[in-house]
Amino acid sequence: MSRQIIVGNWKMNGTRQDAQALVQALVSGLPATAPDVVVCPPFTQLALVQPALDASPIGLGAQDCHKDAAGAHTGDISPTMLADLGVSYVILGHSERRQEHGELDETVREKAVAATKAGLTPIVCIGETEDQRESGEYEDVLGWQIKGSLPDGFAGIVAYEPIWAIGTGLAATTDQIAQTMSFLRAELVRQFGEAGKTIKILYGGSVNAGNAVSVLSIPEVAGALVGGASLKADAFLSIVNAAS
Return the number of the residue (41 or 205) whose C-beta is nearest ligand PEP: 205
Smallest gap from Cβ 139 to ligand PEP, in A, equals 21
Nearest to 176 by CA among 111, 132, 115: 132
221 binds ligand PEP (CB under 6 A): no
Residue 210: C-alpha distances to residues 91, 158, 218 (Å): 25, 23, 15
200 is in an annotated binding site: no
Residue 215: C-alpha distances to residues 169, 183, 193 (Å): 14, 17, 27
Of 61, 151, 205, 223, the residue at the interface with ligand PEP (CB under 6 A) is 205
Of 206, 211, 235, 240, the residue at the interface with ligand PEP (CB under 6 A) is 206
169 is in an annotated binding site: no
132 binds ligand PEP (CB under 6 A): no
Q: Where are the alpha helices (DSSP H) in the chain?
A: 16-29, 43-54, 79-84, 95-100, 105-117, 130-135, 138-149, 174-192, 212-216, 233-242
**Angle (deg, nearest 10), helices 233-242 and 16-29:** 40
Of 29, 86, 167, 210, the residue at the interface with ligand PEP (CB under 6 A) is 167
Smallest gap from Cβ 9 to ligand PEP, in A, equals 5
d(CA 18, CA 239): 20
d(CA 116, CA 101): 22
Return the number of the residue (10 or 154) whose C-beta is nearest ligand PEP: 10
Of 157, 207, 239, 240, the residue at the interface with ligand PEP (CB under 6 A) is 207
Could you confirm whether 101 is annotated as catalytic? no
Of 5, 6, 9, 98, the residue at the interface with ligand PEP (CB under 6 A) is 9
108 binds ligand PEP (CB under 6 A): no
143 is in an annotated binding site: no
228 binds ligand PEP (CB under 6 A): yes
d(CA 224, CA 240): 9
C-beta separation of 94 from 125 below 8 A = yes
CA count, 13 A, side-chain hemisphere, 171: 25
Binding site for ligand PEP (CB under 6 A): 9, 161, 166-167, 204-207, 225-229
Which residues are annotated as catalytic?
Answer: 94, 161
- Binding site, by residue number, is 9-11, 167, 206, 227-228
- Binding site for substrate, by residue number, is 9-11, 167, 206, 227-228
